[in-house]
């Protein structure tokens, strides 16, 4: 069965998930959440400089959907910057092309195919790995396989 709500294609999970204004006590901080698809829209259009049409094709969504997505992302970021919110990147209905694993022992960052699971660092053999897509998988379920 095909989901009517298509998953948005995202190249890799974000390397950084959490941004905090400095010098604000934690009890005064409120959180604003940018979804991973909103992050990808920012990365493609603002960071890579793609036109909305090209970026929408990258993400497998329509151009109007892309424009709505990036407008929402810009609004959230403007609120975080202006009101001093903690910004967290998580969630969204996404499929990653690639995953990233960070080794906490040697610091190596490895990129793999999204479906490839690695259990030890290719450089030093450590099993102390951080699975970047896993942050999102845990909350939102495993990637669907046809």
Cβ atoms of 13 and 43 within 8 Å: the answer is: no
Q: Which position among 93, 97, 126, 127 is part of the footprint of Zn ion (CB under 5 A)?
A: 126
The answer for residues whose C-beta is within 8 angstroms of residue 41's C-beta and 6 or more apart is: 55, 59, 66, 69, 70, 73
**Residue 106 interacts with Zn ion (CB under 5 A)?**
yes
- Binding segment for Zn ion (CB under 5 A), chosen from 15-23, 77-85, 98-106, 109-117, is 98-106
Residue entry with tokens 């204004």: 21
Q: Which position among 44, 70, 94, 121 is part of the footprint of Zn ion (CB under 5 A)?
A: 121
d(CA 66, CA 72): 10
The three-state secondary structure class of 93 is coil
Backbone angles phi, psi at 89, to 5 degrees: -110, 115
- Binding segment for Zn ion (CB under 5 A), chosen from 19-27, 74-82, 123-131, 134-142, is 123-131
Q: How many residues form the binding site for Zn ion (CB under 5 A)?
A: 8
**Residue 128 interacts with Zn ion (CB under 5 A)?**
no
**Residue 130 interacts with Zn ion (CB under 5 A)?**
no
Applying the rule CB under 5 A, the residues between 11 and 50 that interact with Zn ion are none
How much of the chain is in helix, strand and coil states, percent to nearest 5? 35, 20, 45
Q: Which position among 59, 70, 103, 133 is part of the footprint of Zn ion (CB under 5 A)?
A: 103
Q: Are β-strands 98-103 and 94-96 bridged in parallel, bridged antiparallel, or unpaired? A: unpaired
Q: How far is the CB of 98 from Zn ion (least distance, A)?
A: 18
**Residue 123 interacts with Zn ion (CB under 5 A)?**
yes
Q: Which residues bind Zn ion (CB under 5 A)?
A: 103, 105-106, 108, 121, 123-124, 126
């Amino acid at each position: 069965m095909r989901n009517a709500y298509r998953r948005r294609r995202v190249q890799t999970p974000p390397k950084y998930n959490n941004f905090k204004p400095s010098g604000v006590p934690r009890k005064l901080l409120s959180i604003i959440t940018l979804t991973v698809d909103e992050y990808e829209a920012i990365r493609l259009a603002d960071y890579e400089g793609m036109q909305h049409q090209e970026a929408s094709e990258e993400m497998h969504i329509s151009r109007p959907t892309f424009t709505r997505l990036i407008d929402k992302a810009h609004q959230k970021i403007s609120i975080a910057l202006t009101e001093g919110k903690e910004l967290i990147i998580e969630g969204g209905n996404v499929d990653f092309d690639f995953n990233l694993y960070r080794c906490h022992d040697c610091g190596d960052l490895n990129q793999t195919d999204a479906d490839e699971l690695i259990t030890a660092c290719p450089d030093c053999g450590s099993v102390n790995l951080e699975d970047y897509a896993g942050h999102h998988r845990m909350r939102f379920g495993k990637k669907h396989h046809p």
